[in-house]
Chains A and B, each alone.
Chain A
Amino acid sequence: MRMKYVLSEVLVGLWRNVTMTIAMIITMAVSLFMLGGSGLLYQKVGDMKDLYYENVEVSIFLTQEVTEQQRADLDSKLKSDPMVKEVLYVDKQQAYERFQQMYADAPDLVNAVKPDQLPESFRLKLNNPEQYKSIYDQYKESEGVDEIVDQSKLLDKVFGVLTGFQNGALAIAIVMAIAALLLVANTIQVAAYSKRREVAVMKLVGASNWFIQAPFVLEAVVAGLLGSILGLVALAVVKVTAAGSSLAALEGLITPVSWSEIFLIFPLMAGVGGLVSAVTAWVTLRFYLRV
């Protein structure tokens, strides 16, 4: 009976102040959506860093006039360099094949370029991709070297943008969470006020504190959970619409977010939503109800 009483009180409470309840749920949903999005981005950036840095290459392009001797010297120096994990020599023909593959969509461009025009290069894998700078300093002045290009520089830019998005989402999540928190506090105050007579009688006849507080706290928790479900729906909508839009073109660059990842982030959203609501409601009651 007590459980039934508490649950019916929760529903009555949510319904009594329905506009406020909706505002609370929407704010909570936006906040948790942002939180979930930020969490997913964080995972993605981590995954991608592992994947890309693993494959990142430093390319040492050779000049057109490079001599046999210079090439052999460079080759042996690189092979004995402790910073270098792997060395791959790409001659003009191989460079052309790669070029053909990369620009298979643009046959005009491929036809315009002759194998001869492409530079030979050494493709290096470093033991530690961050040591790029020392490689650069060491080989920049070597004879026959035209240019040294580091892919990780480009990656850093990409990751910088993604981390920026992630931090932005987190900041919005926090700001919205504060708004949600204030709404919860306000809703609980209104609820406590509208039930002040009942609460006074309950205190008088010796109802236990948890019994007096439970309907209010649960009311906030239910709103928080509804908000997290709405946030999950929003994430799903973003995934579905992004798959069919221009963002799909980025799919090669950014590893796609799977459904399982979205559902795995849900416990975090629901947990944060429920917990924040419960604690806020409880603290509000401490001040307002003094039970």
Chain B
Amino acid sequence: MTKTYPKASRPSLDNVSVSIEKGEFVFFIGPSGSGKSTIIKMLLHEVTPNKGRVVVNGKDVTSMRSWKRPHFRRSIGCVFQDFRLLPNRTAYENVAFALEVIGKTKAVARRVVPEVLELVGLGGKEHRYPHELSGGEQQRVAVARAFVNRPLILLADEPTGNLDPDTSIEIMRLLDRINRTGTTVVMVTHDSNIVNQMRRRVIEIESGRIVRDQARGVYG
């Protein structure tokens, strides 16, 4: 597929073709502006390619009408570098909010949220506010929020970008554990250390083209 943004001199993604299997763990690496983030945005149906098709979970996203987007998003979890937590809500409320706004009852939240917070290792810190948690803990809340709806795919856009190396590794262990439940994990990163340790599929992008696609790869 190809994506050219308006006013851009060259395409952000140029004839890129990637296939990711269910249950895979994939790193997208490459310098800033190489087009990694555009891939994430396409998977989220935030942008559509000018040419080519994007198929997610067996659905052709390219031609999807925008009013179908909300429902489509429920099968995808998202984690970002800046956590994107609601500062005036506790860890529990942040996760429960994600459930309640898609129509789940409070009773469901009461059953599911403590479970997932336990899974990400935040048992006992449910009622702390984001500012009372460390960066790593905040990212765990974000992972819990992304995973609580049991998505088929977890997208992580530089999830360790704001964290120190030790905390980063803990977050990676968590993502690995989530991957083992059968969830596909797609992660965009700059962090060579992590890529080298994990030894998973690595797709390297440069100037909108795939320059390497390697199973059990390293940062290079």
Contacts and interface: CB of A to CB of B under 8 A. Distances in A.
Interface of A: 1-2, 5, 197-198, 200-209, 211-212
- Kindly list the 6 A-B residue pairs having the minimum CB-CB distance in the complex, ordered from nearest: A206-B73, A206-B74, A207-B101, A205-B98, A206-B70, A208-B70
Nearest to B71: A206
Contacts of B173: none
Contacts of A202: 101
Given A205-B73, A209-B67, A200 B84 contact: yes
Interface residues of B, number: 22
Given A1-B100, A1-B105, A1-B106, A205 B86 contact: no
Contact of A204 (B67, B73, B105, B106): B73
B215 interface: no
Given A1-B106, A2-B103, A204 B71 contact: no
Given A197-B86, A198-B86, A201-B86, A206 B102 contact: yes
Contacts of B103: 2, 208, 211
- Which of A200, A208, A209 has the most chain B CB within a 10 Å cutoff? A208
Given A1-B106, A209-B70, A204 B100 contact: no
Interface in B67-86: 67, 69-74, 76, 78, 84, 86
B142 to A, nearest CB: 10
Contacts of A198: 86, 97
B149 interface: yes
Contacts of B105: 1
A5 B106 CA distance: 11
- Which of B86, B101, B102, B105 has the most chain A CB within a 10 Å cutoff? B101
Q: Identify whether the interface residues of A are mostly helix, strand, loop, or mixed.
A: helix
B145 interface: yes
A77 B55 CA distance: 94
Contacts of A1: 100, 105-106
B84 A205 contact: no
A201 B97 contact: yes
Contacts of A2: 100, 103
A143 B9 CA distance: 97
Contacts of B97: 198, 201
B11 to A, nearest CB: 24
Given A202-B101, A205-B73, 9 more contacts: A1-B100, A201-B98, A204-B73, A204-B78, A204-B84, A205-B98, A206-B70, A208-B71, A208-B102
Contacts of A5: 100
Interface string B141-162: 0000100010000000000000
A211 B101 contact: yes
A198 B76 CA distance: 18
Contacts of B73: 203-206
A201 B96 CA distance: 12
A205 B145 contact: yes
Contacts of A206: 69-74, 76, 102
19 contacts: A1-B100, A2-B100, A5-B100, A197-B86, A201-B84, A201-B145, A203-B70, A203-B73, A204-B84, A205-B102, A205-B149, A206-B71, A206-B73, A206-B102, A207-B70, A207-B102, A208-B103, A211-B103, A212-B101
A102 B102 CA distance: 76
A72 B218 CA distance: 123
Interface in B94-149: 97-98, 100-103, 105-106, 145, 149
A1 B100 CA distance: 8
Nearest to B89: A198
Contacts of A203: 70, 73
A250 B67 CA distance: 59
